[in-house]
């Protein structure tokens, strides 16, 4: 019997050129999620994507802090900030979605990380939870109850998106094989999965949807 995907959204997180092979912040094996996500899209009537969309002067970029290097942690307006390479800058090729990702049936795209003074891993809120993207209200207004999360990177933007989804009351699923981790530290992927599971995110594989198995 097929899984009931009524009132469900597929949420595609940051499948952008800079997070894929050859990109400024490439996630190992990131390209492997694209065929899976395209296949999953065929099972959903409601599909939303998020897009990292940074100004060039973003405070999370090591290059914007004299004497600092990628991987260092600084204080950015009261929050600890891991410093990243310059990535997903507005107007660059790196910010664009990968050409093999099929956007034909997307309902909306929500951009994040536009405020240079705070980082924004989640598709719902910035890291300080001072501003939101409007995604939560949008899903609620459309009657969405179940959110299925895919994309990049599992231990950062995907994780925080899934955690915020749960906090807003959505039944949230992580499609584990349709996401890949950065693994700045070797155990980050496993820690992220455990954190999401403990928060109430349901971990499934794509086969639960593609093979019509009820969970």
* Residue 14 is among the residues annotated as catalytic for this protein: yes
Domain membership of residue 155 (yes or no) is yes
Band (pLDDT 50/70/90 cuts) for residue 215 is very low
For residue 82, give the 3-state DSSP assignment: strand
173-190 confidence digits (pLDDT tens): 999 999 999 998 889 999
Give the HSE-up count for residue 148: Cα atoms under 13 Å, Cβ half-sphere.
26
Domain membership of residue 65 (yes or no) is no
pTM value? 0.95
Domain membership of residue 58 (yes or no) is no
Average pLDDT, the chain: 95
Which pLDDT score is estimated for 2?
54
Domain membership of residue 114 (yes or no) is yes
Given a cut of 90, whether residue 23 has pLDDT beyond it is yes
Strand 73-76 to 79-82 pairing = antiparallel
Domain membership of residue 72 (yes or no) is no
**Residue among 37, 36, 43 nearest 6 (CA):** 43
Specify the number of domains making up the chain.
1
110-163 confidence digits (pLDDT tens): 999 999 999 999 999 999 999 999 999 999 999 999 999 999 999 999 999 999
Domain membership of residue 23 (yes or no) is yes
Give the CATH number of the domain where residue 139 resides. Answer: 3.40.50.850
Parent domain of 27 = 8-53+90-210
Q: Name residues whose C-beta falls within 8 Å of residue 27's C-beta, 6 or more positions apart in sequence.
A: 19, 20, 152, 153, 180, 181, 182
Domain membership of residue 94 (yes or no) is yes
For residue 48, give the H/E element and its range. Answer: strand 47-52
Residue 179 buriedness (CB in 10 A; 0-12 / 13-18 / 19+): buried
* Residue 88 is among the residues annotated as catalytic for this protein: no
36-90 confidence digits (pLDDT tens): 999 999 999 999 999 999 999 999 999 999 999 999 999 999 999 999 999 999 9
Between 214 and 176, name the one with better pLDDT. 176
Residue of 52, 126, 157, 164 marked catalytic: 157
* Residue 112 is among the residues annotated as catalytic for this protein: yes
Residue of 112, 119, 132, 180 marked catalytic: 112
Give the HSE-up count for residue 201: Cα atoms under 13 Å, Cβ half-sphere.
29
**Residue among 206, 213, 214 nearest 32 (CA):** 206
Domain membership of residue 64 (yes or no) is no
Q: Identify whether the C-beta of residue 94 lies closer than 8 Å to the C-beta of residue 84.
A: no
51/40 Cα distance (integer angstroms): 19
């Amino acid at each position: 019997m097929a899984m009931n995907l009524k009132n469900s959204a597929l949420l595609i997180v940051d499948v952008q050129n800079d997070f894929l092979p050859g990109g400024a912040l490439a996630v190992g094996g990131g390209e492997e999620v694209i065929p899976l996500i395209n296949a999953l899209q065929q099972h959903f009537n409601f599909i939303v994507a998020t897009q990292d969309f940074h100004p060039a002067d973003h405070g999370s970029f090591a290059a914007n802090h004299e004497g600092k290097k990628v991987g260092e942690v600084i204080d950015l307006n009261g929050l600890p900030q891991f410093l990243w390479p310059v990535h997903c800058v507005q107007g660059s090729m790196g910010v664009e979605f990968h050409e093999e990702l099929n956007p034909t049936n997307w309902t909306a795209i929500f951009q994040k990380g536009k405020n240079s003074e705070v980082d924004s891993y989640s598709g719902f809120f910035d890291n300080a939870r001072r501003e939101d993207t409007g995604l939560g209200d949008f899903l609620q207004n459309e009657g969405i109850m179940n959110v299925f999360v895919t994309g990049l990177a599992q231990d950062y933007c995907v994780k925080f998106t899934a955690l915020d989804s749960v906090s807003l009351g959505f039944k949230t699923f992580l499609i584990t094989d349709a996401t890949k981790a950065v693994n700045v530290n070797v155990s980050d992927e496993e820690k992220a999965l455990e954190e999401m599971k403990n928060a109430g995110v349901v971990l499934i594989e794509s086969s639960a949807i593609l093979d019509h198995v009820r969970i």
